[in-house]
């Protein structure tokens, strides 16, 4: 047991017990430098038996080397690589440089690491300890964070130690343990163990107070104090933060070492892999003998054995940061010469790049080649770093500009938009031909959109499209589509006329018959002329932006059939490519399409998956679809929370479309609950701005709320707007919405025929929800007409449909109306299916669809072992024992 760490050790020991029992566990240790996180990881490693320990350490000087952390984790487990499905094995092999292939995306690569851990754990539990996680390279951090969020029943533990304070989106939301200072008694004991002689009591208390229980500070602060200071307090109180003072202490101790020892420490710090033979070769080139390590070892700074290990990461950083620039270049040069170009060409290029002082095309070419290899493995952040350094060392202006553009492209692919503008500005200082100028314009436009997808990026995108029009018509059209997306996202938070202005500007661009060109023509017609009929949605593209815009256009026309096809295609494409940015958006779009079909549970499951992926990749969704789903389900508390979250996000980000989503969600929720004045207020607020795809649905909510809240003029005005849209669109959903609006607002004599016409228009599988609502409204009208028998038939059908969908508020509204007709409505009896979690429900449905455990795991980003564990739970809850019996229970 570590001194004063009983609470922390108990938590870690409990996690290990769960792993031995077959459950996985994750814990993030957070604390300031020197607080004892590494010691706790050592405790875990010592207590892990019979589990196998795999150690990973982030290193600051290697933060730009792609997958360096992943190499450490997966290297010892590679004998199990052959047990992985082919796609996963290929992704991991490519990332680790074992084979060549297409650059792997995050999701299949993350699933490969998850499967590798699960396969290795099938022999004995795996305990992965990750020290200094704040210095993992970006891709390794994302992948390990993804795996940590998907672990469940694999007998795997992942324990991370990360420095605080930190901006940590990768590990955020995972179970964590804050590691604070030692208790006073333990701190006194530790300090006494290192004091060389009796000290003045006041000095002793000052050291305790300044250390704040930080174990490393307690061990190191006395080393930086003179005997007189320790005995009498000479020297006074210092205000430097503990971490900074400990770093200063290490620097002083390093500075006091012999010159050769300082060179050895620096070489060990710059060579982050701990490769002792490589370090020895570099030292020979530097003329440093191995005996130079003895003073550092005596000082407790370095251990030189089979591997090189610093006593603490601060020793490494202190050596590196305090080094003379000339000496640092010499060390890099020696390490480059000592590195085998065949075994590790990338690190050799990296060292050569940092050793070079002046432009050198040979070195720049090696860095560019390393960037190409990094891109082939999916290491875009690493490629960007290689290319930036290559550009600095490139003597030829044309080639330098091209490499700067390539670096900007790589940064953009990682989402690091802040770095793009400076690189493009530097590239444009050099001579750029028309093709490269077009590329620069395209990159600047995409960076503007990714950095701010709201209204503020619209003018920038339109300016870029205008410039690109003279250089590359396709790029100009694609950029104009981004401008439309910005206008749609910006909504009412930006220029109220942004959509029209975008259409007018885009109309001056060269036309094209490709999917982007056809969609652009339709958006121009919709935004400038209000012509919904021409706003066709092309379905022959795999571009995620074009698909999202196409789906938005389809929903604006209430074209459910096209919307269904587009959203299915979007999810399939995103799953196939593993694009981490595209899949959450595609899942959210698909879930919105499922609302009209009444498949609310399925929509919710997809959103749960989208949230998991967004959390794992650090890219939260800004679509607000969770609010819409909760509103359709009638979950009042949850819906209001999600609506509030959407409105707050809109205020912070400028994504004004979320205000429209919030209004539509609140109108649906209040109409379902029968709170018609509140629904009317929400729908009115929503229709103050004609949000694309939201506006038609808001009009329908407004008609229903106004007709029931005693506002016939508002209902009639909304009906007239629906008539304009329905006439142009001509789709079953639009025509049904118009017939229903006319039934609610027109004379009583023709109302029933219009209700029946609306139900007939909605009588397709994809419009089950509006069909049930039409039957509810028809039944309510029949009851008010004192046609109770007929009302019961319509209301019973609506109640049964809403109950089956899980639309609780609308089902309760139908039940109240049925009760008013004199019919007794039985509450739905408890069902074993109600006990299934959303994840268990999705797994059960996929099993029912004859998917294997491996296929289910791939679709849900779980390991097959976890799928098997969940299926056993499903069988237990449903009282069955095999997949064959699932059809009996869930077949309907």
Mean pLDDT per 10-residue segment, the chain (892 residues): 88 95 94 91 93 90 83 93 89 88 80 93 95 89 88 93 77 90 91 76 76 85 62 52 75 91 92 84 94 91 81 82 91 94 90 93 95 83 89 93 92 80 88 82 79 71 85 86 88 83 90 84 85 62 80 92 91 72 84 93 84 64 85 95 93 88 97 96 95 94 96 96 92 96 93 96 93 97 93 94 92 94 74 72 84 83 86 89 82 54
Domain boundaries, the chain: 6-178, 184-239, 255-427, 434-536, 608-631+646-820, 832-890
| pLDDT tens profile 769-827 | 999 999 999 999 999 999 999 999 999 999 999 998 989 999 999 999 999 998 888 76
Kindly give, in sequence order, each residue whose CB lies less than 8 Å from that of residue 237, ignoring residues fewer than 6 positions away: 206, 210
Q: Which residue has the tokens 């049930």?
A: 772
Q: What pLDDT does residue 798 have?
A: 95
CATH class in words for 832-890: mainly alpha
Q: Residue 369 has which token pair?
A: 């080649």
Q: What is the pLDDT of residue 194?
A: 80
* DSSP label of 62: G
Helix, strand, coil in percent for the chain, rounding step 5: 70, 5, 25
Residue 573, pLDDT score: 83
Largest CA distance in the chain: 104
Residue 193: burial class (beta carbons within 10 Å; 0-12, 13-18, 19+): exposed
Q: Which residue has the tokens 């004063």?
A: 4
753's CB contacts (< 8 A; 6+ apart) are none
What digits encode the pLDDT tens for the residues 164-206?
876 666 788 889 999 999 999 999 898 888 876 677 777 778 7
pLDDT of residue 864: 86
The reply to whether 608-631+646-820 shares the fold of 6-178 is no
Residue 31 CA from chain centroid, whole number? 24
Which residues are within 8 A (CB) of 428 and not within 5 positions of it... i.e. 6 or more apart? 401, 437, 440
Rounded to an integer, what distance in angstroms lies between the CA atom of residue 368 and that of residue 386?
6
Give me the pLDDT at residue 842, please: 80
Q: Please report which residue ranges of 198-240 form alpha helices under DSSP H.
A: 201-211, 215-220, 227-232
Parallel, antiparallel, or unpaired: how do β-strands 176-178 and 302-304 relate?
unpaired
For the chain, state the CA radius of gyration: 32
| Residue 232, pLDDT score | 53
Residue 695 tokens read as: 């506006």
How many angstroms separate the CA atoms of 541 and 515, rounded?
6
6-178: CATH, from 3.40.190.10, 3.40.50.300, 1.10.10.10, 1.20.1110.10: 3.40.50.300
pTM, to two decimals: 0.74
Quick check: 129 and 46 in contact, CB under 8 A? no
Residue 196: what are its φ and ψ, rounded to 5°? Answer: -75, -20
Tell me if residue 49 falls in helix, strand or coil: coil
Per-residue tokens: 347? 């690190």
Distance, in Å, from the CA atom of 296 to the CA atom of 293, rounded to the nearest integer, reads 5
For residues 341 and 68, give the distance between their C-alpha atoms in angstroms, rounded to a whole number.
Answer: 17
Query: Out of 3.30.70.20, 1.10.3720.10, 3.40.50.300, 1.25.40.10, which CATH number does the structure's domain 608-631+646-820 have?
Result: 1.25.40.10
Res 454: pLDDT: 60
Q: Is 121 exposed, middle or buried (0-12, 13-18, 19+ CB in 10 A)?
A: buried
By CB neighbour count within 10 A (0-12 exposed, 13-18 middle, 19+ buried), where does 46 fall?
Answer: exposed
Element (H, E) at 53: strand 52-57
Task: Compute the Cα dihedral for 85, 87, 92, 93 and give only its sign.
Answer: positive
**Given this model, what pLDDT does residue 139 score?**
85
């Amino acid at each position: 047991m570590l001194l004063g760490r009983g609470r922390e050790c108990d938590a870690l020991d409990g996690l290990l017990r769960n792993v031995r029992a077959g459950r996985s566990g994750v814990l993030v240790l957070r604390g300031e430098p020197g607080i004892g996180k590494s010691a706790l990881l050592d405790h875990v490693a010592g207590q892990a038996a019979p589990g196998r320990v795999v150690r990973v350490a982030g290193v600051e000087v290697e933060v730009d080397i792609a997958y360096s952390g992943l190499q450490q984790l997966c290297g010892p487990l590679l004998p199990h690589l052959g047990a992985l499905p082919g796609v996963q094995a290929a992704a991991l092999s490519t990332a680790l440089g074992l084979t060549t292939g297409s650059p792997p995306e995050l999701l299949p690569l993350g699933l490969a690491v998850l499967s590798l851990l699960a396969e290795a754990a099938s022999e004995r539990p795996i305990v992965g300890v990750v020290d200094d996680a704040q210095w993992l390279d970006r891709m390794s951090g994302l992948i390990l964070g993804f795996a940590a969020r998907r672990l469940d029943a694999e007998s795997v533990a992942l324990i991370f130690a990360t420095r605080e304070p930190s901006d940590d989106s990768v590990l955020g939301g995972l179970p964590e343990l804050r590691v604070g200072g030692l208790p006073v008694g333990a701190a006194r004991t530790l300090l006494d163990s290192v004091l060389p002689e009796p000290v003045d009591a006041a000095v002793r208390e000052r050291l305790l107070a300044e250390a704040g229980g930080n174990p490393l500070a307690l061990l190191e602060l006395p080393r930086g104090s003179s005997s007189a200071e320790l005995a009498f307090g000479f020297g006074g109180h210092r205000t430097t933060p503990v971490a900074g003072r400990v770093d200063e202490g290490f620097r002083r101790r390093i500075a006091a070492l012999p010159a050769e020892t300082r060179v050895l420490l620096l070489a060990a710090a710059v060579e982050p892999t701990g490769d002792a033979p490589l370090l020895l070769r570099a030292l020979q080139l530097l003329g440093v003998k191995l005996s130079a390590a003895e003073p550092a070892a005596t000082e407790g700074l370095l251990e030189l054995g089979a591997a090189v290990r610093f006593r603490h990461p601060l020793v490494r950083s202190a050596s590196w940061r305090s080094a003379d620039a000339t000496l640092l270049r010499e060390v890099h040069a020696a390490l480059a010469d000592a590195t085998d170009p065949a075994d590790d060409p990338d690190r050799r290029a990296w060292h050569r790049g940092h050793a070079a002082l002046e432009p050198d095309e040979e070195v720049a070419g090696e860095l560019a080649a390393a960037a190409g290899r990094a891109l082939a493995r999916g290491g875009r952040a690493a490629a960007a770093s290689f290319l930036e350094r290559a550009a600095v060392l490139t003597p030829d202006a044309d080639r330098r500009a091209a490499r700067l553009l390539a670096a900007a492209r790589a940064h953009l692919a990682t989402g690091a938009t802040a770095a793009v503008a400076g690189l493009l500005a530097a590239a444009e200082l050099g001579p750029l031909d028309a093709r490269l100028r077009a590329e620069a314009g395209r990159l600047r436009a995409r960076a503007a959109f990714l950095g701010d997808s709201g209204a503020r990026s619209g003018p920038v995108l339109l300016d870029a499209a205008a410039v690109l029009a003279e250089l590359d018509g396709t790029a100009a059209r694609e950029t104009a589509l981004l401008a439309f997306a910005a206008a749609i996202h910006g909504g009412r938070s930006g220029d109220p006329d942004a959509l029209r202005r975008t259409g007018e500007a885009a109309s001056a661009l060269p036309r094209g018959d490709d999917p982007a060109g056809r969609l652009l023509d339709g958006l121009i017609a919709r935004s400038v002329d209000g012509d919904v009929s021409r706003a066709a949605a092309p379905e022959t593209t795999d571009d995620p932006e074009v698909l999202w815009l196409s789906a938005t256009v389809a929903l604006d026309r209430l074209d459910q059939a096209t919307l269904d096809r587009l959203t299915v295609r979007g999810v399939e494409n995103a799953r196939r490519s593993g694009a981490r940015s595209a899949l959450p958006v595609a899942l959210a779009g698909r879930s919105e399409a499922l609302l009209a079909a009444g498949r609310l549970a399925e929509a919710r499951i997809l959103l749960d998956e989208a949230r998991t992926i967004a959390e794992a990749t650090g890219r939260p969704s800004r679509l607000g679809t969770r609010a819409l789903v909760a509103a359709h389900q009638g979950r009042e508390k949850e819906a209001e929370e999600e609506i509030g979250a959407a409105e707050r996000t809109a205020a912070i980000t400028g994504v004004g479309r979320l205000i429209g989503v919030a209004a539509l969600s609140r109108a649906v929720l209040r109409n379902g609950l029968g709170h018609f004045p509140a629904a009317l207020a929400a729908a009115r607020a929503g229709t103050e701005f004609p949000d694309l795809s939201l506006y038609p649905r808001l009009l329908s909510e407004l008609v229903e709320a106004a007709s029931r809240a005693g506002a016939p003029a508002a209902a009639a005005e909304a009906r007239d707007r629906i008539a304009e849209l329905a006439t142009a669109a001509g789709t079953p959903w639009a025509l049904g919405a118009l017939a229903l609006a006319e039934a609610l607002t027109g004379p009583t004599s023709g109302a029933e025929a219009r209700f029946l016409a609306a139900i007939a228009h909605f009588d397709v599988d994809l419009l089950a929800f509006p069909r049930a609502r039409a039957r509810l409204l028809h039944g309510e009208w029949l009851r008010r007409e004192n046609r109770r028998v007929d009302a019961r038939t319509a209301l019973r059908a609506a109640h049964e449909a809403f109950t089956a969908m899980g639309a609780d508020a609308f089902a309760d509204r139908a039940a109240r109306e049925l009760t008013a007709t004199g019919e007794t409505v039985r509450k739905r009896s408890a069902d074993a299916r109600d006990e299934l979690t959303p994840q268990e429900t999705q797994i059960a449905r996929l099993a029912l669809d004859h998917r294997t455990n491996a296929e289910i795991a791939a679709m849900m980003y779980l390991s097959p072992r976890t799928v098997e564990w969940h299926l056993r739970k499903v069988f237990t809850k449903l009282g069955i024992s095999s997949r064959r019996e699932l059809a009996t229970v869930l077949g309907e």
